[in-house]
Homo-oligomer: A and B are copies of this chain.
């Protein structure tokens, strides 16, 4: 049977109250007594029953999700997953609130973070915008002992406890290899459609992509990046233009959102030629395009996994518990038309 606080008290030769003081780091325990208790805890292998503790404390986990106010399928999906998580709140003892901030606006994000310092949630998940001020604000909160995880977009170099998202450099590299291998011996140019080079994840994907293409597929040249602002209309125009102007395009890598426009452009322009296309994010549109061979592969991150993982990690950090690293690794999904979920 698992040891309880009573067993610890008995083993350490102290009272229950003292064990409680040690366990919950309350004051008024002499150093040597504290050590006696800690030894007993270690020797008996005591593990606090978190469920019982939460019951006694009436604990809930107030969590805050900070999201950019972006109007694209991925963010909509992320929001939907957070709503699902809110529905599970009673069971998981969470109390989740989302805050929308203007996209690509570091100062807005910083002021929200500063506001949270007063609200004192027990955990913060945020889609990071990569800027020094944001990093500083995050570090400040971490030093104030707030658990913080970045979601989808990381803030490297900051003190955030965890990143719930995919490795975007690896994603870009994978896209390049798939494209290169699918094209085989063919030579030509590659069009890259991004949202904005101001976003870290897009920059990283491009970085990985160009690196592998340069190293291993020297016959494929990357055209200047098209910045579609994750907007289907803009994407449509840019891709249509590029295809018209450049007959040597053999492949397309769409590393951001706004794929609806890309797909429309491809269907109109590329009926005759055989383009190889890799896109990010599985949505109703990209799924259909994959099935009708307009797109050859989709790279995806599962927003549901990211949200659930962020919640698990924040709760664990709030309780000072360990996380199962392998479980919390967000994988890059590669979908061909055969393995769609």
Contact = CB atoms under 8 A, between A and B. Distances in A.
A181 B179 CA distance: 10
A337 B170 CA distance: 9
Contact of A338 (B91, B208, B324): B208
Interface residues of A, number: 44
Nearest to A211: B338
Nearest to A55: B52
A28 to B, nearest CB: 29
A24 interface: no
Interface string A307-341: 01000000000000000101101011110111101
A336 B184 contact: no
A178 interface: yes
A197 interface: no
A273 B104 CA distance: 50
Given A173-B339, A304-B326, A51 B47 contact: no
B208 A167 contact: no
B329 A331 contact: no
B177 A336 contact: yes
Given A51-B51, A178-B336, A181-B182, A329 B341 contact: yes
A174 interface: yes
Interface string A194-227: 0000000000000010001000000000000000
A162 to B, nearest CB: 16
Given A171-B339, A182-B182, A327-B305, A47 B212 contact: no
A154 interface: no
Interface in A100-124: none
Contact of A90 (B2, B171, B329): B2
A91 to B, nearest CB: 6
A200 B324 CA distance: 31
A84 to B, nearest CB: 8
A212 B327 contact: no
Nearest to A47: B90
Interface in A153-185: 167, 170-171, 173-174, 176-178, 181-185
A47 B91 contact: yes
A50 interface: yes
A54 interface: yes
Given A51-B54, A308-B324, 17 more contacts: A47-B91, A51-B51, A51-B52, A52-B55, A170-B338, A171-B339, A173-B338, A174-B339, A177-B338, A178-B336, A181-B182, A182-B184, A183-B184, A185-B185, A208-B338, A329-B341, A331-B333
18 contacts: A2-B90, A47-B91, A50-B91, A51-B51, A51-B54, A170-B338, A170-B339, A174-B336, A174-B338, A174-B339, A183-B184, A208-B338, A304-B327, A308-B324, A329-B341, A331-B331, A332-B339, A334-B339
Please provide the 4 A-B residue pairs with the shortest distance between their CB atoms, ordered closest to farther: A184-B184, A173-B338, A51-B51, A334-B334
